[in-house]
Amino acid sequence: SSGKVEYFSAAFFLRNPLAGGLEQDVVSILRERFVGESMQDVIVAQNQSMERQSFELELELEADFA
């Protein structure tokens, strides 16, 4: 797909591998980043299957303001 280039935002699309008891590609993760006067990340995890899924989600965050 294509669209207007916006240098203040980015989007990352991920899907899970076959691991941890989940079938491959049943969970998608969208990470959107907006940079302006501040920086904001939005993370969305979505079940792509028609069945209820159970898994552990862990976020590890770091910052470097150098």
CA pair distance 43, 24, nearest whole angstrom: 20
pLDDT of 1 reads 52
**What 3 state SS string does 11-26 have?**
EEEEECCCECCECCCC
pLDDT of 25 reads 95
The model's pTM is: 0.74
Tell me: the pLDDT tens digits for 36-51? 898 899 999 999 999 9
